[in-house]
DNA sequence: ATATTGACTTGGC
DNA sequence: TGCCAAGCCAATA
């Protein structure tokens, strides 16, 4: 039997993130909840940090509460995340996603809508 | 075994 | 807007 090296909760988090549609965004907290781990946003951050490159997760679509990018504004990660978001048509200003950019995806299915809960 | 850290969140001032 | 304290908890030191 396989005593998996990857804990169940990490896999659950990666699964949720992999389902975030292109052009839409979510938050660490929301992902944690959908993964069945309410209140454990930090674990989501960690899960993304150690995620195997081979999974090609859309990590840039996961933001901190309020649509903020959590990396230092001068860091390579910050620049890269902002670049990827913009390439999907999402507006980013002052380190955060602009409201209109979040709401502009009414077509997303119900499950995905739960990802973004703060207006 | 104890202390600190961190890709977080919420509430309060 | 911003800083701080709590709550969160696996990984590091």
Q: For the whole model, what pTM was predicted?
A: 0.85
Confidence band of A105 (pLDDT split at 50, 70, 90): very low
Which nucleotides of chain B are near protein (any atom < 7 Å from a CB)? 6-10
In this prediction, residue A98 carries a pLDDT of 82
Element (H, E) at A92: strand A92-93
- For residue A9, CA distances in Å to A16, A43, A48, A49, A63 come to 11, 9, 12, 14, 19
| Nearest nucleic acid nucleotide to A37, CA to C1' distance | C8
In this prediction, residue A101 carries a pLDDT of 52
HSE-up of A8 (CA within 13 Å, CB side)? Answer: 3
Confidence band of A52 (pLDDT split at 50, 70, 90): very high
Protein CA at A61 to nucleotide C1' at B2, angstroms: 37
Is pLDDT above 60 for A3? no
Average pLDDT, chain A: 83
User: Which residue would you say has higher pLDDT here, A99 or A116?
Assistant: A99
Protein CA at A96 to nucleotide C1' at B4, angstroms: 29
H helix count then E strand count, chain A: 6, 4
Structure tokens at A28: 């660490």
């Amino acid at each position: 039997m396989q005593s998996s090296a990857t804990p169940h909760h990490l896999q659950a988090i990666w699964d949720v993130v992999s389902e975030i549609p292109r052009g839409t965004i979510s938050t660490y907290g929301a992902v944690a909840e959908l993964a069945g781990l309410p209140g454990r946003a930090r674990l989501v951050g960690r899960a993304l940090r150690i995620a195997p490159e081979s999974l090609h997760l859309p990590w840039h679509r996961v933001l901190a509460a309020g649509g903020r990018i959590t990396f230092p504004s001068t860091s390579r990660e910050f620049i890269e995340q902002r670049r990827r978001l913009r390439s999907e048509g999402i507006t980013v200003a002052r380190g955060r996603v602009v409201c209109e950019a979040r709401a502009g995806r009414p077509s997303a299915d119900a499950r995905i809508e739960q990802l973004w809960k703060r207006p």
